[in-house]
């Protein structure tokens, strides 16, 4: 498979606005599969729903990866969960016991260590171009509006280069398998790594009332199953945020 390992081209910048924004522009201009854009500092790093990603100079590892899939956008549900699995596998190589929070966060001791921002372009049926952004706290990012964790604080001294290499290798492996087999192939592993399964959670939405219930797990498309007073409900990745309740 010509798109297996060793497919990466690295571009490094001292400072950019947002690596996802830059890479999305380059993708539209025909940038190659496997292009990685990493920046020492992002002045407008983004999370989902226009939220900000905070980083202090030298304290974070942030990069974006362009991945061109054979499948169309409609086959990419569950992608952010699979990217989370790659991050957990890479961090466990360095002895860091992280867990996953649906749909797109990596937690250490219940606090947020890393975030994932996936942006898609293409159409439902043709090959999709996907920009996968990852931000990970190597040292303290400074003030953030929710509890955060960092590797230094956890006693892990891995350098950012070694960490980036491990992340890219794990990403290449899981993304190739995801392209072939979809999310269903990862569902059991995701359940093993997930925080909050079987526990009470609250789901909040940009509009409307929150939903309380017990997190059951995910289905074959990566959608979250929650048992509440009104029975079992299915939540797709989108404008939903999850918290322990």
Q: How far is the CB of 138 from ligand ATP (least distance, A)?
A: 10
Is 21 a binder of ligand ATP (CB under 6 A)?
no
Is 112 a binder of ligand ATP (CB under 6 A)?
yes
How far CA 213 is from CA of 194, 199, 218, in Å, comes to: 16, 8, 14
Cβ partners under 8 Å of residue 16, min gap 6: 22, 37, 39, 41, 42, 43
Backbone phi, psi, residue 32, to 5° = -75, 150
* DSSP summary character for residue 46: B
Q: How far is the CB of 2 from ligand ATP (least distance, A)?
A: 32
The candidate with the shortest Cα–Cα distance to 67, out of 174, 147, 210, is: 174
- The two beta strands, 35-42 and 9-16, are parallel
How far CA 65 is from CA of 24, 40, 131, in Å, comes to: 10, 15, 6
**Which one, 144 or 176, has the nearer CB to ligand ATP?**
144
Task: Spot the catalytic one: 46, 112, 160, 187.
Answer: 112
**Which one, 34 or 115, has the nearer CB to ligand ATP?**
115
Is 86 a binder of ligand ATP (CB under 6 A)?
no
Q: How far is the CB of 61 from ligand ATP (least distance, A)?
A: 10
Active-site residue flag, 46: no
**Which one, 62 or 179, has the nearer CB to ligand ATP?**
62
Distance CA 142, CA 3 (A): 38
Active-site residue flag, 101: no
Out of 108, 148, 166, 215, the only residue in the binding site for ligand ATP (CB under 6 A) is: 148
Q: Which chain residues interact with ligand ATP by CB under 6 A?
A: 47-49, 51-55, 104-105, 112, 115, 117, 137, 141, 144-146, 148, 241
Active site residues: 48, 112, 243
């Amino acid at each position: 498979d010509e798109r297996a390992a060793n497919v990466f081209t690295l571009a490094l910048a001292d400072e950019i606005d947002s690596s996802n924004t830059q890479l999305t522009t380059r993708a539209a201009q025909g940038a190659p599969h496997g292009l990685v854009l990493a920046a020492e500092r992002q002045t407008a790093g983004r999370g989902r729903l226009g939220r900000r990603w905070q980083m202090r100079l030298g304290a974070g590892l942030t990069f974006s990866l362009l991945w061109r899939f054979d499948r169309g956008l409609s086959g990419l549900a569950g992608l952010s969960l699979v990217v989370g699995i790659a991050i957990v596998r890479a961090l466990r190589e360095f002895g860091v016991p992280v867990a996953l929070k649906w749909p797109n966060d990596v937690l250490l001791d219940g606090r947020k260590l890393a975030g994932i921002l996936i942006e898609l372009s293409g159409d439902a049926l043709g090959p999709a171009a996907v920009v996968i952004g990852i931000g990970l706290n190597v040292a303290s990012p400074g003030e953030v509006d929710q509890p955060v964790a960092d590797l230094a604080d956890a006693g892990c001294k891995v350098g950012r280069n070694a960490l980036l290499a491990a992340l890219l290798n794990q990403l290449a492996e899981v993304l190739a398998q995801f392209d072939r087999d979809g999310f269903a192939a990862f569902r059991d592993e995701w359940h093993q790594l997930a925080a909050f399964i079987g526990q009470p959670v609250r789901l909040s939405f940009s509009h409307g009332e929150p939903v309380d219930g017990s997190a059951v797990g995910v289905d074959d498309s990566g959608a979250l199953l929650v048992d509440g007073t009104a029975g079992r409900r299915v939540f797709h990745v989108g404008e939903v945020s999850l918290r322990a309740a």
